[in-house]
Structure 1
Amino acid sequence: MELETETIPRKRKGAPTSALATEPDLEDAEPKAKKARLSSILFAENHVVTHKQLCELLKYAVLGKSTVPEPSWCQLLHQNHLNNVVVFILKGMSQLHFYRFYLEFRFLRKAFRHKFSLPPPMSSFLFDIIGLQKKKSARGFPRTIKGSPNCENFILTKFNASITDNSPLFGLNCEMCLTSKGRELTRISLVAEGGHCIVDELVKPDFKILDSFTSFSGITEKILNPVPTKLKDVQELLRQLLPPDAVLVGHFLDLDLRVIKMIHPYVIDTSLLYIGKQSRRFKLRFLAKVILGKDIQCPDKLGHDTIEDARTTLELVRYFLKYGPKKIAELNLEALASREELKAASQGPEKKGGPTKPPNMSVLECLDSMGQKLLFLTRDIDELSSSRNCLTIKCSSNKEVLEEARVEVPLFPFSIVQFSFEPFSPIFADEVKQSMKTKWTEMSTVYAGPFIKNCNIGPLKKMFKSMGPVQSVTLVLETFRPYFRVQYEVLEAAQLAIETMNGILVEGSYIRVHRPVTEFTLECDTLVHELEQDCENQGTIYVTGFGKTFKEHLLEQSSLFPGLEAMILPKDVKRRQQKNYCFLKFKSRDSAQVALEILKGKDWKLKGRHALTPMHLQTWLRDIYPEPVMPSGLRLVPPLLEKHIFQIAEENHPRIVAWRCNRKIEKLYHCLSPGTLCLILLPGTNNTFASHPGLGLMKIKEEEESDPPGLGV
């Protein structure tokens, strides 16, 4: 299902086209004081924000548009009126946690209007978004062998021979993209020792591309569209081509082997072969220049040449084998690298009127340039290196993180508060995803009847469809009189059917319309009420029953609906047609209620109610796997599994953990000063069994928000 969004025009200068809607022009709202504000909706079709885009926002929040570019995915108005930035990281949690324990995250869903997905973390999440480095440990040549951690689902090459001095070398180089499931392969090149390229293939990722990394790879999503080759084809080809005693050569080879998901025990990584002091690893372009005297990866070319890079790694290995480590030490790579960096810095021209800071600066470096320190509160700092402009406070528990944060956070302009939790076990995560899919299906299903035995089915189907898009209508054969099972596409349609059709007279019979009674729908009324109160749903209504011209008709009469900001129009992907329902986004719930009454009063034959499904939740439900991949012969029932866990360790049950986490953030939030940009980040998880995308929530705390009773600071 695609979403088309029609933004209601406003008199506003410089509004980005990526935002669906914006706040009223604060510059015209004198004499009110300007306040930092976020755009009311982020963007239309893609709710996934990459770590790079998240970093863009944080740098802009620190420095402003005079020094760094504005974020490309959302709008932050009056950045200079921000007082603080606080980032809460819930390490070990993902979207799956948030939607599985939706009721427990009461404060987060009621306070934070802006939600967006994050891709699964592929490296250090803190480094990607802030620039906090991991400690570097001394490493030898990487050896990938059967049984290594995080490689249980990788494919083995056919290695069954010992290596000798005559074992053949093969240069391997890959390009990759970022998808909703992490990094995936887009191009692979394999070069034999003599320099002949034996494999050069474009590869189509299995999941939706979020970032093609075109500046590095030269590959675009358009180029990959017609490509038939998939990862499994590449794996099979390499198994056939590589001899049993092959030695793979590459630069940062561990990344290439992970992206092709293959295990091979005999490797040489040139980034480790020419390693510097304190485990510094040099770029391939630098090594090619100073060791081989050749220029590769030229800046005037779009993307890297994987064949050229693979050949270069082979040449570097041959050079090392010929001259040995003593010759490399005489070159003094550290001094040469420092000289190159100084030269590049002195030649970097600044654009007139543009940003004065390099766009690749980290948030930590931005703070340093402002003479400010980052506050970092966490339980897990053993793996992080120290930084001169970062005050790190290590705590013994999440409770201590909360206590320290309430004292220290108000004293710093930029803070990171990290709570750490155990992620779901792989089997439990699969069961949770399946139960969520089942729960939503049953909540969107109604039973209607009884009808007379010779009822006219055609008009009845039309009556059901008037509530919204129907996925299936099934005649129930186990009853004396006919009943129908109607599965709707959206929850709003099912709820509307219950509210408007239950108890009505149809062909001489008073019918009942209700949901199936199962373990998943026992507390459905509570969940529906809470969904209606979700901050993302405030001011949004669901409307169904209109024709093809409704969009134009509504836009022409938009003056009837004050406060209308946007129309969200779902499309049928297969038919490429607009569906006969939409969501209308208003500035406030009161404006939405007025519009709902006007729409029902008009002779437009429309039906509607307040929205129940946040757009972000719709996207997530559509993306989760309908069927989990389970080991053969193993079947687990979610309620029994949860009961089993609860009995073993009630205090550590995920539901209790989620409730306490929500409570901690609520307490901390009310300690923040007005004008604070607050981000809640559930980074997601990534392991050998499965990857789960993360979730972000954000808002700016306003002056009128007060501490609720019982939350004394």
Structure 2
Amino acid sequence: MKASLSPSVTCGEKKRKNEAPAADEGIKRLKTEEGGDLQERPRHSARLSVCLDRLQQPITPAELMELLHFAALGKAAGIKQPSWCRVHHQRNVSGINVVVVEGVTQSLFYKHYLLMEHLRTSYTTRVTFTPSSNNVASEIFRCEVPNMDFSSVSKPEETLHTAVRHHPVITTFGTKRRGLTAYVLSQQQLIKNRYPVKDPSIMFMFQCLTEKGYELARVSLVDSDGNCVLDDLVKPQNRVLNYLTQFSGITAAMLRPVTTTLRDVQAKIRTLLPDNAVVVGHSLNNDLVALKLIHQHVIDTSLLYRREFGQKFKLKVLAEVVLKRQIQSEERSGHNPTEDAVAALELAQYFIKAGPRQVVELHLEELWGYKLKEESPKSTPAPSYRFADILQTTGRSPAYFGKRADVALDLSHQCWYSSDKEIVSSFRKQTKHPFLSVVQLSSFYNYLKRRSANQPQLYNNMCANLREMCAVFAGPFPAGFSKRDVKRMFSCCGPVRRVQMLSTSVRNHAKVEFRMLEGAVLALKVLNGLSVLGQTIKVQRPVNKSMLDLDLNLETLMSEKLNTNRLYVVKLRHDVAQGLNISAKLNRCLSDANSSVLPPGRPMNGLPQTAQINGKHSHSAKPELSEESVRETFSMFGSIRSISLPAKIAKRAFHAYIEFEDAEGKHAALASSGRLVEDSYLVWPSITPPHLLSWIGLMTESKPEQEEEETVEDFFDGGFQDQESSLLKKLDRRLSKVFRSLPDGTMSVVLLLEDTSSTSSDHPGLCFLEVKMENQSRR
């Protein structure tokens, strides 16, 4: 075993001044926990945002292409921000991954909402996606980029010599100059290069040979200006057998008076080295192992100046060729750790300042032994505007993983497999991720095709289940109470889509379908136990197998991130507001903003009988909401980010969603629910995610009005239902594996599609969007 060079650790962060925070040095302070997981999103990391109003409208394949083109090419190529979504810090998007899932519609996702844990928790943006008549995977590659400015896009393939184009430094880092943090090793690279990422129990290479093996004997630390801030001899814990003086320059006489221990040195380094500092060294993994230290932000010069097949240059060789400086000379007795540390620092600084391309071209013959031969000029073909071709022109590769299909991409960039399991396994095993990867998963769709005769009934069942989530049964009503009377009464909780009267030989009941989930929940809380012309009515949910998990579904929806600051508001007629004498119990229920669990409904027998709420005798003006009136009433509770009014649901708007800047505003409004009722407002925590507003509109309108209403029954037997659930759970796990394997900064897109050849709008798909960060890797 060869002895290592003296441990040399270089702090790549300048001494911080009070007026110049670390962020100005291009390094974001990262808080870490034991194990090294990042806990904060770096300040300038890429992210996506979609305004609430736009989330309520489905996006088309063309609009998705807008997003992909801008995320990949940005303003530098003349591409404009997407019309529906904003990409922040687009230059920090490190890649794009699109997973196309066939056969799983939006309605099927919400039918099995609780099972799809990865999809519902890992993505902060979710928007309805309309099916396309084209093959989505193929469309992504062949779609032309409009208004492309080729003059502003670098074309390394056209200007680089062949020997340089395939050089290991260029294939790893590209040709552009980048900042300090671009060369910091990722977690995967730390593990691959044997850096300590957990407390090390085995020590590999140390300075002096003792009875227990090699142990540290000297350590040096310099700052980013090359000034030595630490140079200590360290007393080994065990008896020294060989001081290795020819390498270390250390003798027995030098170590005899030393009392500094490894623990003392560790404490000094922790004091001198901030958590957010970038540590620079040559083969630094050996040094950190010897020091028994873990540090997450590392630049290794032996990996910057790469050789073929994983071989590394010696620090002495790099210093001589690049820095024109002699170190570790034979005249001296051993190496000088401070000199080695400064050399590593200057090599890293030179690489960052010059950029990979200049480093390779200036030192190609001296370091790598290549001589450039003149190449005959090639005719320049007309530029292609296809997305895949543009990416290849700019040096970024596209790739397709999926079943054998007609995909508009070079066969050398396609990987075909027969099962989803093989596709995901192959994708995760890649040594280098392409910039654009499209993964197509078809197992669930293939399973549905085998049951093609049952597919129409399956989709009808999903739509019926959604309608049941938005429905309540109510009654008994007095004789002569009409459908119009019922609709007028229940409209105080939200927009009513349909009322169906259900008559028995003795009494009248009604089924009320709301357009929003909140309407059904509020009806249970507000109208259950109401006295109507002397008749106490009961309001309850439909009871069938599909509704058994309803409360858990609603609870999970209400706790979604997009609903954290959102409030549902209904504007009541003044006479109805007076009739709704909200009890203390309901007031507490509405005020309990900290509870994520929906409280059970309780009868409200305290509501007085009034002619106004019965509906027949009410002649007051219909309520109407405007953005101005809502803002005027609710701005007292906190700063309002946006107000979303319904789109053409009724002639007049009488319900809205309010998004506050923070959750405190929402909580304050809920706490004042009793006073708001006096002002003719009924409030409830938002349950419906923004994109679901459009989905509910489509699903609840999918059944013709003239059809007779029937009790919802599960069409398939229990065996099918169990198999369906099992397949979707397996799909969710595979999507999670793909997501975890993505490099940090990758924009992840998951598309749920009924069928890429379908043109139906009755069964919309769903698009999930997120830019992956390191703290999402181990969820």
- Give me the TM-score of the superposition, normalised by structure 2: 0.50
Following superposition, the deviation at residue 515 of structure 1 comes to 1.4
- Which residue type is aligned with residue 751 of structure 2? L
Say if 2:404 is the partner of 1:381.
yes
Q: Tell me how far 1:89 sits from its aligned partner.
A: 1.6
Asked if 1 retains the 8 angstrom alpha-carbon contact of 2:93 and 2:745, the reply is yes
Indicate whether 1:447 and 2:521 are aligned.
no
> How far apart, CA to CA, are the structure 1 residues paired with 2:478 and 2:408?
74
> Which residue in 1 is equivalent to 2:768?
697
* Cα distance in 2 between the residues matched to 1:678 and 1:689: 25
The answer to whether structure 1 residue 622 and structure 2 residue 632 are counterparts is no
The answer to whether the aligner puts 1:540 opposite 2:566 as a matched pair is: yes
Report what 2:416 is aligned to.
394
**Aligned equivalents of 2:673 and 2:105: distance in 1?**
39
Q: Which residue of 1 aligns with 2:117?
A: 106
- Separation in structure 2 between the aligned mates of residue 656 and residue 79 of structure 1, nearest angstrom: 38
State yes or no: 1:77 paired with 2:88.
yes
Aligned-partner SS, 1:34: coil
Q: 2:48 aligns with which of 1, 25, 38?
A: 38
| RMSD value, Cα | 4.0
Distance in 1 between the 2:407 and 2:512 partners? Answer: 54
- Check if 1:435 corresponds to 2:446: no
> What does the per-residue CA deviation read over 1:410-448, in whole Å, with 9 as the maximum and x for residues that have no partner?
744332222222533454332123223322333322233
AA aligned opposite 1:109: R
Q: Percent identity?
A: 25
**Counterpart AA for 2:401:** L
CA distance in 2, matches of 1:89, 1:456: 49
SS in 1 for 2:68: helix
SS at match of 2:659: strand
Supply the distance in 1 between the matched residues of 2:475 and 2:127 (Cα, whole angstroms).
40
CA drift of 1:67 comes to 0.5
In structure 2, distance between residues paired with 1:587 and 1:620: 26
Which residue is equivalent to 1:594? 668
Tell me the residue number matched to 2:541: 515
> What letter corresponds to residue 496 of structure 1 in structure 2?
L
SS class of match (1:584): strand
Task: Report the alpha carbon displacement of residue 607 of structure 1 after superposing the two structures with TM.
Answer: 1.1
Hey, what's the Cα distance between the residues in 2 that align with 1:457 and 1:123?
Answer: 45
2:524 is aligned with what amino acid? I
Aligned-partner residue type, residue 455 of structure 2: A
Q: Distance in 1 between matches of 2:49 and 2:496?
A: 33
Question: Over residues 256-300 of structure 1, what are the superposed CA-to-partner deviations in whole Å (9 max), with x where a residue is unaligned?
Answer: xxxxxxxxxxxxxxxxxxxxxxxxxxxxxxxxxxxxxxxxxxxxx
- Please name the residue that 1:304 is paired with: none
Partner amino acid, structure 2, of 1:569: L
Measure how far apart 1:702 and its partner are: 3.9
Quick one: which of 579, 592, 607 aligns to 2:682? 607
Change (3 A) 1:501 1:42: closer
1:152-194 CA-partner distances (Å, limit 9, x unpaired): xxxxxxxxxxxxxxxxxxxxxxxxxxxxxxxxxxxxxxxxxxx
Query: How far 1:610 sits from its partner (Å)?
Result: 1.9
Q: Given residue 666 of structure 2, which amino acid in structure 1 is its aligned partner?
A: A
Q: Tell me the residue number matched to 1:421.
A: 443
Query: Quick one: which of 725, 728, 749 aligns to 1:679?
Result: 749
SS in 2 for 1:641: coil
Cα offset, 1:75, TM superposition: 1.0
What are the superposed Cα offsets for residues 467-512 of structure 1, whole Å, 9 maximum, x if unpaired?
A: 1223455665427566554332322111111123335667777653
Partner amino acid for 1:544?
A: V
Compared CA separation, residues 701 and 572, structure 1 to 2 (3 A): same
Paired residue type of 1:594: A
* 8 Å Cα contact 1:569/1:578 also seen in 2: no
For 1:514 and 1:104, how far apart are their aligned partners in 2?
26
Deviation (angstroms), 1:533:
3.3
Q: Determine which structure has the larger strand proportion and give its number.
A: 1
- Pair 1:85–1:382, CA change in 2 (3 A): closer
Within a 5 Å distance, the mapping from 1:495-534 to structure 2 comes to: 495-503=521-529, 511-534=537-560
Give the deviation of 1:76 after TM superposition: 0.7
Match of 2:395 in 1: 371
State whether structure 2 residue 564 is matched by structure 1 residue 554: no
- Is 1:583 paired with 2:657? yes
* 1:569 Cα deviation after fit: 0.8
Counterpart secondary structure, 1:570: coil
Bigger radius of gyration:
2
Cα pair 1:374 1:391 within 8 Å, conserved: yes
CA–CA distance in 1 between the matches of 2:502 and 2:568? 29
Partner-residue secondary structure (3-state), 1:447: strand
Q: TM-score when scaled to structure 1?
A: 0.54
**Aligned with 1:582: secondary structure?**
strand
Is the contact made by 1:95 and 1:693 (CA closer than 8 Å) also made in structure 2?
Answer: yes
**Within 2, Cα distance between the matches of 1:43 and 1:454?**
42
The one-letter code matched in structure 2 to 1:707 is R
Give the CA deviation at 1:678.
0.9
Correspondence for 2:429: 407
Equivalent pairs counted in the alignment come to: 443
The residue identity in structure 1 corresponding to 2:79 is: P
1:640 CA drift (Å): 4.1
Q: Which structure 1 residue ranges, 5 or more long, are not aligned?
A: 1-29, 134-338, 346-357, 629-634, 709-713
Structure 1 distance, partners of 2:56, 2:487, is 33
Unaligned runs of 5+ in 2: 1-27, 30-41, 145-378, 573-622, 705-709
Change in 2 beyond 3 A, CA 1:452/1:90: closer
Kindly tell me: are residues 460 and 34 of structure 1, through their superposed partners in 2, closer, same or farther at Cα, counting changes over 3 Å? same
Shift of 1:597: 3.0
TM-fit CA distance, 1:556 = 3.9
CA change 1:386–1:679 in 2 (3 A) is closer
> C-alpha distance in 2, partners of 1:121/1:471?
29
C-alpha displacement at 1:654, in angstroms?
Answer: 3.1
CA distance in 1, matches of 2:770, 2:557: 19
* Residues 176-215 of structure 1 mapped to structure 2, 5 A cutoff: none
Q: Secondary structure at the match of 1:108?
A: helix
Where 1:517 maps in the other structure, the secondary structure is coil
Q: Deviations over 1:351-400 (max 9, x none)?
A: xxxxxxx8x7233123212212224332x136447628x64333442122
Letter in 2 for 1:613: T
Shift of residue 705 of structure 1?
Answer: 3.9
Distance in 2 (CA, whole Å) between partners of 1:490 and 1:554 is 19
Preserved CA contact (<8 Å) 1:94 1:694: yes
Deviation at 1:454? 9.8
Q: Is the 8 A contact 2:101 2:752 kept in 1?
A: yes
Given that 2:471 and 2:542 are in contact with CA atoms closer than 8 Å, whether structure 1 keeps it comes out as yes
Correspondent of 2:732 among 643, 656, 662: 662
Per-residue displacement from partner, 1:332-353 (whole Å, max 9, x unpaired)? xxxxxxx9x96xx5xxxxxxxx
Of stretches 392-401 and 585-594 in structure 1, the one that deviates more from structure 2 is 585-594
